[in-house]
Structure 1
């Protein structure tokens, strides 16, 4: 039996922008995440060029599903309780120029989970974020309130109460008394 997960369908807008100044000697263009929008029937299913001039291009990539998973409720909680909850988009450069004259940035996955974004960043993927609209955050937080159970914090015992052991695991002791023998006591 398959359980339907809460899902929202979105489209991603990627922007190619001209680089000005000294950096343009090495790279003349760069790709950035422009926006994440609610999917609309008129968007179709294939990526398409929305706008182009001498300094930028905008490409619409429709048809992404954002699903909420109960085992990632903490990731949604962490996103929803920040000052600026957002969409996270993992994108890669398309290897071949299938729909444009040159390779374009193609979104791979869209999520609302901090944990997903963190794993992707650790893997050195291209991950960018844009603010998520209030209705989406409310939808996500309703899911969080239903499924997230915060683990109680365990009190860590202070290091001063830890028993001392030597490097072999045997009990050890520390003293502040002077060692006996091996020196001249009372020598003036």
Structure 2
């Protein structure tokens, strides 16, 4: 689709030693880096005590005209977020960055799956300017349309009145 735009961001993950015998480390996204270079493997950025920060991957954020309502909602928040989805590949034990999105509704869909880690990180200023410009150019307000209720017809049955066809 020609109205889709893409920006690549580096995903920074925090790896924290938990001291838990069943889970040695906990991973969570903490930042994104606009325009980050591609990586062959994760790069250690910092180590301080039990915490390590890694530039774990570079992912595209894609903006789609059909998702501008979600972007608008995100921009209206006190701290707009980039939502990062982490997924553990089959046969591996550590999660990897899978997706970065600015649409909270898309992030919620991944969160609902229960198998992914989804967390929002503060959106950097260049990302905010980019998405705000995109929304300004592509958002189309869809007016609320209340459904008109049809009058009850006892000859057609239905959930009320014990109509046929259910059960």
Give the TM-score category using the shorter length.
0.7 to 0.9
Report how many residues are paired.
157
TM-fit CA distance, 1:63 = 2.5
- Alignment CA distance shift 1:45-1:28 (3 Å): closer
| Distance in 2, Cα, partners of 1:106 & 1:112 | 19
| Distance in 2, Cα, partners of 1:84 & 1:53 | 27
5+ residue gaps, structure 2? 162-167
Q: Does structure 1 conserve the Cα–Cα contact (< 8 Å) formed by 2:11 and 2:55?
A: yes
Root-mean-square deviation (Å): 2.9
> Which of these residues, 117, 120, 137, is aligned with residue 110 of structure 2?
120
Q: Does structure 2 conserve the Cα–Cα contact (< 8 Å) formed by 1:73 and 1:147?
A: yes
Q: Does structure 2 conserve the Cα–Cα contact (< 8 Å) formed by 1:64 and 1:110?
A: yes
TM-fit CA distance, 1:54 = 4.5
TM-fit CA distance, 1:129 = 0.7
**Structure 1 residue ranges, 4+ long, deviating more than 4 angstroms after superposition:** 94-97, 164-167
Q: Which residue of 2 aligns with 1:142?
A: 133
Q: Does structure 2 conserve the Cα–Cα contact (< 8 Å) formed by 1:5 and 1:69?
A: yes
Aligned pair 1:63/2:63, yes or no?
A: no
- What TM-score, normalized to structure 1? 0.69
Aligned pair 1:168/2:163, yes or no?
A: no
SS at match of 1:141: helix
| Distance in 1, Cα, partners of 2:88 & 2:53 | 15
TM-fit CA distance, 1:71 = 1.9
- Higher radius of gyration, 1 or 2: 1
Give the number of the structure whose residues are more often strand, by fraction.
2
| Distance in 2, Cα, partners of 1:7 & 1:150 | 23
Superposed CA offset, 1:14-60 (max 9, x none): 1111236xxx365443111121112334x644322333354122221
| Distance in 1, Cα, partners of 2:35 & 2:13 | 15
